[in-house]
Amino acid sequence: MSQNDALATAAHLHVLLRRKTGRVTDTEWMAGNAEYAQAMVRYARAKAQEDGHTELLPLAERLEALVVAPQLARKNPPPAASPAIAVSAPAPLSPAANDVSTRYVGRLR
């Protein structure tokens, strides 16, 4: 999603909502918050259906595609194929590895 495209679409929708319905919106919040954008999309669609403001529909769909759809995709990522990883038990240490005299730092000078 291009932040500039989302902000421009939100600004256009803001202007049309203000002119056609009297609703004042926050364009930056609409471009940055998927829940608010979804609410404004629902409002625009309802007003287009109720009052016949069909000019709102293309902008509502574009805003939904730019802001809402990517957020939903991030919240619900497709399940990734989990690779089969064989986990084996660690190899037992040899008796010489526990012997203090054979370790490098095992003794003080």
Sign of CA dihedral 24, 26, 27, 33: negative
Higher local confidence (pLDDT), 99 or 3: 3
Which residue, among 45, 50, 37, 44, has the nearest Cα to 19 in the 3D structure? Answer: 44
According to DSSP, residue 1 is labeled: -
Q: What angle do CA 27, 28, 30 make, to 5 degrees?
A: 65
Q: Indicate the angle between helix axes 34-51 and 3-21, nearest 10 degrees.
A: 40
Is 30:19 a contact under the CB 8 Å cutoff?
A: no
The pLDDT, as a whole number, for residue 2 is 78
Q: Can you give the pTM of this predicted structure?
A: 0.64
Per-residue pLDDT tens over the stretch 18-53: 999 999 999 999 999 999 999 999 999 999 999 999
> b/e per residue, 54-82, with b = 16+ CB within 10 A?
eebeebbebbbebbbeeeeeeeeeeeeee
Structure tokens at 54: 């069909």
Per-residue pLDDT tens over the stretch 62-104: 999 998 877 666 666 556 555 555 566 666 666 655 565 655 5
